Amino acid sequence: MKQQILAIIWAQFRITRNHLPRTGVGGVVMWIITGLWYAMFVALAVLAISGIPTLTLELLRQALPIALLVLFVYNQTIPLFTLSTGWSLQISKLQVYPIRDNDLFGLEVLLRITSAPEFIIVLLGGVIGLARRPDVPLFAALCLLLFIPLNLFLQLAVRDFVIHAFARNRFREIITIFVVSIGIIPQLLIRTGLGIKLKPYFLLLANGAATPWYTAAAVSLGQFSTRNFALLAAWTLLAGFLARRQFALGLVQDDAFRGGTPARASKKDASFPILDSISNLFQDPTAAIVQKELRSLLRMPRFRVVFGMACIFSTVLFLPLRIEHADKPSGFLFNNYFVAVNLYGLLIMADALLLNIFGVDRSAAQLYFVSPTPLATVIKAKNLAAAAFILVQNLLVAILTPLFAHVSPASIVAGFIASAVATINLMWAGNLLSVSMARPIDPSSTMRKQAGGKVQLWILICTIGMAILVGFAYLARWAFDSEWALLAVLLFEFAIGVVVYRVALDSAVERGMRDRETMIDSLSKTSSPVGGSLGLG
Amino acid sequence: MSIADEVPAIEITGLEKIYHGFHAVDGLTITVPQRCFFGFLGPNGAGKTTTIKMLMGLAQPDAGSIRVLGLPMPEKSLEIRREIGLVPDDSLLFDYLTGVEYLEFVGRLYGLPKPQAKERGGELLQLFQLAENNRKLIGEYSKGMRKRVAMAAALIHRPKLFLMDEPFEGVDAVGARLMKDILIDQVRHGATVFLTSHVLEVVERLCDEVAIINRGKIVTQGSMADLRSRSATGASSLEEIFVNTVGAERYTEKLDWL
């Protein structure tokens, strides 16, 4: 058993190591960033080691539960992010090997340490800091380590719950959007003053006498009461029970042989019959390609997440800034909240819809080169499908934003036109990028993996270009102090964009036909686990 | 409890598995003797993979019993798993390990000492012509390479029974030839091979005995000679026997325009 534990820990280390770029500057940069990241937590641990002995016992009694609550929250949320990018060994795959289920569970709990080692680093700093105090017995300081099993158990329970939630369509998308949205919470708390408002509740929670962090803090400060130990044991047992239950559920549910289990027949196939009406607007093959694009994108978990984020995440992301400027109704963001949200949403979708239009077709992209459909028609049809999604996103954001902030009709009109300007310009740039730097996308993968450095650079250039174009219009409005100037410049830019689109389309077709072999080859490759696949935004 | 030499390698009796009211496996009974090359055939969705899952203890049967190398499954699943080399579809591979790391890892899970697991891993990688890609992650492997590394992992602990789900799928002719030679050699040295495959020519050439499953039930079983003699239409090739047995219809009778 010991050997198997060591083998799995070793494999976990290799997997983590192999996630990092292995050669060149990228590798060095990643190592430096990783080093800096952990150095930050080591510094926190050192701070705890040197700071705890200087505090009064009274202050420590107040501060320790708060610190433990913060660590608890960190430890429970960070693995949600790491889980989503695959930084963990899939224990369920080990079932075919001669290892007992109980041992697998033990190993899984142990592996949770690797999900957030920062938690352990800081906690160890706390233990040493407490041990350095003359008024805290060494045994009491060591009791702080009792907080670890509870956290590991709960982390495992949450992780397994989320993994199985991810396995379900639609629920997976909601969970992903929720997980990604966690990222805006600190900004929301700091910029809106919500943090100050919630502070009393947070302190109340931190000092809740029956909570695991409070009891762990009490025990580690030498308050050895039966009640404290019983409470801590009860919390740990409860977390252990939840973890074991989720784990057992996972062993049953995880389909190690994916193709083997007959899938439950879908109660209602999402065929989107409304899309048939596209045939009334366009002729085949354009209509067929647009319908295919819309259907496949709507069925794709990855795109549903992207689209959901473009509508919801972008709206919520700018909300703290909007609230912050609520007392200055003449502020730029106050007046242009809708435009900002709209354009940010477009950027989130741009990579999937505009900048890598053949990515989701992957190996099937060769069909476009062997079928009698001109490549120009294919590209235009794909652009039409993208425009439809962008229009729907614009409309949804136009409905959503007034729920959060006052939006003027002029701002809504400007938002739609700015979105059209950005779309047409990203479209022609994207068409060129799509044939020259085609990348495969895993349509079933919900979460983001980084695209290659060169591609990221081009995405950045396109983003800056879009910002400059829209910025010019606002510069005109400022210079002439007129909304008409803004609209005129936007319309002019749109017209220029249409002309450039036509020219760039010819170039994209020419390049696509010339480099089709390279393009098909790139798209046929399995998306690399170390970068190289399309991101969310 | 030790594994006796003279018991059947696999003994399945009245096995059933129901998914959401659908009988994936329906009263399956098979006996596979030791040192046998056994082909387990059937159309897509017939219940082959579900049967392998139950043989590995990964799925709980709803009825019936399984004995592998004389030991009851799932009661003795741990002892059984030690003796099995599994070549699954590629979902059991770890994409973020290199081939040599994966083989060492699997070897250690089967209880080989680390240096031995590493040494055997390296040798197997050489044997399967994957050594020159030793810095490549499995996630970057082609389908054929993934099958080869899975096969290498199944061999690393010298198992007594091989369970193989479409082992030759996506493998080139050279790789397939190598895999076949190794399997024949393993059977000669006392191992048993239980494989599913849609490449019927390979099954016909390799297997001592064949069972055909359709809609979860065994429809015919025996040696190639047995199957030929039982064929009502006088079919001689396994493909003809298979098609006649599972009742495929001719497309021209369905689509008169084609």
Read off the pLDDT of each residue in B67-80 and give the average, rounded to a whole number.
88
| Predicted confidence (pLDDT) at residue A346 exceeds the cutoff of 60 | yes
- Quick count: other Cβ atoms within 10 Å of Cβ B242? 24
The pLDDT score that the predictor gives to residue B134 is: 74
Q: Tokens 């024949």 belong to which residue?
A: B184
> Of the ranges A16-20, A265-269, B239-243, which is most confident?
B239-243
The pLDDT score that the predictor gives to residue A529 is: 31
Q: Report helix angle A375-404 to A286-299, nearest 10.
A: 50
The pLDDT score that the predictor gives to residue A300 is: 75
Distance CA A136, CA A57 (A): 9
- In this structure, the answer to whether residues A159 and A218 fall within a common structural domain is yes
- In this structure, the answer to whether residues A372 and A516 fall within a common structural domain is yes
Phi–psi pair at B111, nearest 5 degrees: 95, 10
Q: Residue A149: CB partners within 8 Å, gap ≥ 6?
A: A109, A236, A239, A240
**Per-residue tokens: A48:** 């705890």
Q: Is residue A288 part of a domain?
A: no
Question: What confidence tens digit (pLDDT) does each residue in B165-222 have?
Answer: 888 888 888 888 999 999 999 999 999 999 988 888 888 888 999 999 988 899 889 9
Long-range contacts of B217-221 (CB under 8 A, 24+ apart): B217/B26, B217/B27, B217/B28, B218/B28, B218/B29, B218/B30, B219/B245, B219/B246, B220/B245, B221/B30
Query: Which residue is closest to B60 within chain A, CA to CA?
Result: A252
Distance from CA of residue A155 to its chain's centroid?
Answer: 19
Between A292 and A381, the more confident residue is A381
**Per-residue tokens: B245:** 């047995």
Distance from CA of residue A329 to its chain's centroid?
Answer: 32
| Predicted confidence (pLDDT) at residue B91 exceeds the cutoff of 70 | no
The pLDDT score that the predictor gives to residue A262 is: 41
The pLDDT score that the predictor gives to residue A533 is: 30
Q: Residue A18: CB partners within 8 Å, gap ≥ 6?
A: A529, A530, B96, B97, B98, B101, B137
Using a pLDDT cut of 90, give the percent of chain A over it.
11
| Predicted confidence (pLDDT) at residue A366 exceeds the cutoff of 90 | no
Chain B contact for A3 (CB, 8 A cutoff):
yes
| Predicted confidence (pLDDT) at residue A144 exceeds the cutoff of 50 | yes
Question: What confidence tens digit (pLDDT) does each residue in A167-219 have?
Answer: 665 666 666 666 666 666 766 676 667 778 878 888 888 888 888 999 999 99
Q: Are A257 and B165 in contact (CB under 8 A)?
A: yes
> Of the ranges A140-144, A347-351, A400-404, B224-228, which is most confident?
A140-144
Between A532 and A523, the more confident residue is A523
Distance CA A178, CA A180 (A): 6
Dihedral sign computed on CA atoms, order A14, A18, A23, A29 = negative
Using a pLDDT cut of 70, give the percent of chain A over it.
72
Shortest CA distance to B138 belongs to which of A90, A168, A454?
Answer: A90
Q: Residue A311: CB partners within 8 Å, gap ≥ 6?
A: A345, A393, A396, A397, A400
What is the layout of strands, in order, in the sheet containing B37-41? B84-87, B161-165, B192-196, B37-41, B209-214, B217-222
Between the alpha carbon of residue A155 and those of residues A170, A381, B201, the distances in Å are: 23, 46, 51
| Predicted confidence (pLDDT) at residue A421 exceeds the cutoff of 50 | yes
Last residue of a domain, one of A222, A256, A290: A256
| Predicted confidence (pLDDT) at residue A153 exceeds the cutoff of 60 | yes
Task: Tell me which of A337-341, A424-428, B162-166, B217-221 is least confident.
Answer: A337-341
| Predicted confidence (pLDDT) at residue A258 exceeds the cutoff of 50 | no
**Per-residue tokens: B212:** 């055909």
Read off the pLDDT of each residue in A98-124 and give the average, rounded to a whole number.
83
* CB spacing of B108 vs A18 below 8 angstroms: no
| Predicted confidence (pLDDT) at residue A104 exceeds the cutoff of 70 | yes
Report ipTM for this prediction. 0.71
Q: Is residue A280 part of a domain?
A: no
* CB spacing of A529 vs B22 below 8 angstroms: no
Terminal C-alpha separation, chain A: 44
Distance CA B107, CA B157 (A): 6
Amino acid at A61: R
The pLDDT score that the predictor gives to residue A226 is: 87
Chain B contact for A225 (CB, 8 A cutoff):
no
Find residues 132-151 of chain B whose CB sits inside 8 Å of chain A: 135, 137, 139-140, 142
Which of A257, A444, A522, A525 to probe by mutation at the B interface, max B CB count within 10 Å? A257
Q: How far is the alpha carbon of A100 from chain B, nearest alpha carbon, in Å? A: 7
What's the structural domain count of chain A? 2
The pLDDT score that the predictor gives to residue A254 is: 52
Distance CA A88, CA B96 (A): 10
The pLDDT score that the predictor gives to residue A267 is: 45
- In this structure, the answer to whether residues A456 and A322 fall within a common structural domain is yes
Distance CA A525, CA A520 (A): 9
> Of the ranges A88-102, A241-255, A287-301, B169-183, which is most confident?
B169-183
Segments forming the whole domain that contains residue A33: 2-256
Read off the pLDDT of each residue in A76-91 and give the average, rounded to a whole number.
59
Phi–psi pair at A201, nearest 5 degrees: -70, -40
Distance CA B132, CA A159 (A): 37
User: What's the mean per-residue pLDDT of chain A?
Assistant: 77
Return the C-alpha torsion angle B39, B43, B47, B50, nearest 10: 70
Read off the pLDDT of each residue in B14-30 and give the average, rounded to a whole number.
89
Distance CA A183, CA A534 (A): 20
Q: Tokens 């993208």 belong to which residue?
A: A386
Q: How far is the alpha carbon of B76 from chain A, nearest alpha carbon, in Å? A: 10
Q: Are B183 and B32 in contact (CB under 8 A)?
A: no
Q: Is residue A529 part of a domain?
A: no
The pLDDT score that the predictor gives to residue A173 is: 63
Q: Are A35 and A114 in contact (CB under 8 A)?
A: no
| Predicted confidence (pLDDT) at residue A260 exceeds the cutoff of 60 | no
Q: Is residue A205 part of a domain?
A: yes
Question: What confidence tens digit (pLDDT) does each residue in A206-233 have?
Answer: 888 888 999 999 999 888 888 888 998 9
Distance CA B149, CA A444 (A): 25
**Per-residue tokens: A229:** 């130990």
Between the alpha carbon of residue A90 and those of residues A5, A112, A232, the distances in Å are: 14, 12, 30
- Place B120 in a pLDDT band, splitting at 50, 70 and 90: very high
∠ CA(A154), CA(A158), CA(A159), 5° rounding? 115
- Place B59 in a pLDDT band, splitting at 50, 70 and 90: confident
Chain A contact for B98 (CB, 8 A cutoff):
yes
Q: Omega before A285 cis (within 30°)?
A: yes
- In this structure, the answer to whether residues A205 and A339 fall within a common structural domain is no
| Predicted confidence (pLDDT) at residue A527 exceeds the cutoff of 60 | no
Q: Is residue A170 part of a domain?
A: yes
Q: Is residue A263 part of a domain?
A: no
Task: Tell me which of A81-90, A170-179, B60-69, B219-228 is least confident.
Answer: A81-90
Question: What confidence tens digit (pLDDT) does each residue in B151-164 have?
Answer: 999 999 999 999 99
Read off the pLDDT of each residue in A465-476 and give the average, rounded to a whole number.
85
The pLDDT score that the predictor gives to residue A531 is: 31
Using a pLDDT cut of 90, give the percent of chain B over it.
32
Task: Tell me which of A25-39, A329-343, B88-102 is least confident.
Answer: A329-343
String of DSSP letters for B126-186: HHTT-GGGTTSBGGGS-HHHHHHHHHHHHHTT--SEEEEESTTTT--HHHHHHHHHHHHHH
Contact list in A for residue B105 (CB cut-off 8 A) is 7-8, 10-11, 14
User: What's the mean per-residue pLDDT of chain B?
Assistant: 85
The pLDDT score that the predictor gives to residue A210 is: 87
Between B253 and B132, the more confident residue is B132
Between the alpha carbon of residue B65 and those of residues A23, A262, B15, B19, B52, the distances in Å are: 53, 22, 6, 18, 14
The pLDDT score that the predictor gives to residue B255 is: 73
- In this structure, the answer to whether residues A159 and A91 fall within a common structural domain is yes
Q: Tokens 């964009």 belong to which residue?
A: A497
> Of the ranges A97-106, A462-471, B33-42, B45-54, which is most confident?
B33-42
**Burial profile B146-178: b = 16 or more Cβ within 10 angstroms, e = fewer:** bbbbbbbbbbbbebbbbbbbbbbbebeeebbeb
Size of interface A-B (CB pairs under 8 A): 118
Distance CA B221, CA B40 (A): 9
Read off the pLDDT of each residue in A122-147 and give the average, rounded to a whole number.
90
Q: How far is the alpha carbon of B2 from chain A, nearest alpha carbon, in Å? A: 15
Shortest CA distance to A345 belongs to which of A413, A398, A404?
Answer: A398
Question: What confidence tens digit (pLDDT) does each residue in A275-316 have?
Answer: 777 777 887 778 878 887 887 787 777 777 778 777 777 676
* CB spacing of A257 vs B53 below 8 angstroms: yes
Q: Is residue A186 part of a domain?
A: yes
Domain spanning B1-83+160-247: CATH 3.40.50.300: yes
The pLDDT score that the predictor gives to residue A271 is: 55
| Predicted confidence (pLDDT) at residue B142 exceeds the cutoff of 60 | yes
Shortest CA distance to B10 belongs to which of B212, B220, B194?
Answer: B194
Shortest CA distance to A420 belongs to which of A507, A342, A341?
Answer: A342
Last residue of a domain, one of A256, A290, A311: A256
- In this structure, the answer to whether residues A374 and A250 fall within a common structural domain is no
